């Protein structure tokens, strides 16, 4: 997958924060599939074909070649499919048939990948910040990302961050977690309107376990 469009912003965010451990290397996926409603996941017979790089959106190598500190703790929820396929489809304006809560073999790292047929469209990652609040991270990401704009009244903070070639990331802060929804280049023909982003962000917050 492309380097995160948040990578440069998060380098600034975490520049003065201590790292809390080394990140495990990426490996191939072992997947489970969410149904169209938020039921228990089942093993996928034909998993979504993931991009070559499946590292989490907020912790890839930075464009400068530097590695971001590991101050974001992954795997803080069992199922990262915080949107149903129908809800994700409402954001991208397309029929989305699958959502797979994907474990990266050998690392136990999880992401939820969404697809229309065999075409991967995006993903959701959930983290717990280790050295600052999720709200502060969203504030700093917004300030340090070109073209980022906040969405008012959602959780503890929310912003849309546009990237290259039509990619986007939606960052949302709950009281204790940072939610990152990534749309791949080509996932949408036109950028989602703010009400669609807001609906997706609110639905993700609602789906977080108590």
pLDDT digits (tens, 9 = 90+) for 48-89: 555 433 333 433 322 322 222 367 899 999 999 999 999 999
Q: Residue 6 pLDDT > 90, yes or no?
A: no
Q: Residue 35 pLDDT > 50, yes or no?
A: no
Distance CA 48, CA 9 (A): 29
Q: Residue 37 pLDDT > 70, yes or no?
A: no
The angle that helices 194-207 and 85-92 make with each other, rounded to 10 degrees, is: 160
| Least confident stretch, 48-57, 65-74, 109-118, 179-188 | 48-57
Q: CA angle at residue 82 from 80 to 86, to 5 degrees?
A: 130
CB 177 within 8 A of CB 82: no
Predicted TM-score (pTM) above 0.85: no
pLDDT digits (tens, 9 = 90+) for 128-174: 998 889 999 999 999 988 999 999 999 999 999 998 888 999 999 99
Q: Where do the domains of the chain lie?
A: 7-207
């Amino acid at each position: 997958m492309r380097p995160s469009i948040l990578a440069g912003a998060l380098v600034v965010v975490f520049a003065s924060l201590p790292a809390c451990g080394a990140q495990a290397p990426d490996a191939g996926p072992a997947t489970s599939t969410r149904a169209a409603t938020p039921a228990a996941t089942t093993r996928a017979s034909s998993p979504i074909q993931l991009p070559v790089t499946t590292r989490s959106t907020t912790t890839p190598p930075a464009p400068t070649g530097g590695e971001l500190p590991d101050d974001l703790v992954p795997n803080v929820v069992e199922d990262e499919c915080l949107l149903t396929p129908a809800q994700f489809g409402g954001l991208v304006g397309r029929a989305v048939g699958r959502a797979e809560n994907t474990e990266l073999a050998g690392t136990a790292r999880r992401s939820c990948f969404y697809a229309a047929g065999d075409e991967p469209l995006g993903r959701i990652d959930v983290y717990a910040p280790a050295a600052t609040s999720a709200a502060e991270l969203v504030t700093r990401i917004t300030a340090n990302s070109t073209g980022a704009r906040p969405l008012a009244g959602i959780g503890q903070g929310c912003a849309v961050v546009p990237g290259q070639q039509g990619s986007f990331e939606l960052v949302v802060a709950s009281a204790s977690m940072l939610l990152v929804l990534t749309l791949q280049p080509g996932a949408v023909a036109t950028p989602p309107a703010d009400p669609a982003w807001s609906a997706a962000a609110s639905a993700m917050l609602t789906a977080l376990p108590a």
